[in-house]
Amino acid sequence: MSRDTIAEIITSIRNADIVRKRVVQIASTNISESLVKILLREGFIEKVRKHLENNKSFLVLTLRHRRNKKNPYINSLNLKRISRPGLRIYSNYKRITRILGGMGIVILSTSRGIMTDREAREQKIGGEILCYIW
């Protein structure tokens, strides 16, 4: 039985955001590092550091929370897994959906690596739609 590492990453971040945890620890793989770089670059997380424990490498993420007068925190991160091991979803660059009219991002796995929908449209390449983030 294979593990869906992308779903585990998304679920860890989503759960930490729901319970208002500031720090999340996820396993460090090439896919998780690429995904976290995109989240950091797009401003969904504040900072990332690599942590080594018992010869295992982890990424420690600091989540970004928005403050509000009524509620101490607002969930600022919505993640949805699209393509999964049982059902792969592919799209060419012309048919990549826009999330919230371009305010959210779509993360794709392309032949040139993991990238956002904007980068894929600029380079005119499609790929597997991994997740939506808004």
CATH number at residue 18: 3.30.1370.30
CB proximity list for 3: less than 8 A, separation 6 or greater? none
> In what helix (H) or strand (E) does residue 30 lie, and over which residues does it extend?
helix 30-42
Axis-axis angle for helices 5-18, 30-42 (nearest 10): 40
Q: Tell me the one-letter amino acid at 114.
A: I
**pLDDT score recorded for residue 67:** 57
Number of domains in the chain: 2
Phi, psi of 38 (to 5 degrees): -65, -45
Asked if residue 84 and residue 59 are part of one domain, the reply reads: no
The reported pTM is 0.87
pLDDT in tens, the chain (134 residues): 568 999 999 999 999 988 889 999 999 999 999 999 999 999 999 999 999 999 999 999 999 876 555 665 555 689 999 999 999 999 999 999 999 998 999 999 999 999 999 999 999 999 999 999 99
| Tokens of residue 24, six digits | 């999340």
Residue 73 domain-assigned? no
Residue 71 falls within a domain, yes or no? no
112 part of a folded domain = yes
Residue 108: give its domain's CATH number: 3.30.1490.10
Encoding tokens for residue 64? 């970004």
Angle at 39 between CA 48 and CA 14, to 5 degrees: 90
In a shared domain, residues 96 and 58? no
Whether 92 and 54 have beta carbons less than 8 Å apart is answered as no
- Which of 120, 35, 22 is closest to 67 using CA atoms? 22
Report the first-to-last Cα separation within the chain, whole angstroms: 31
Residue range(s) defining the domain that contains residue 35: 5-63
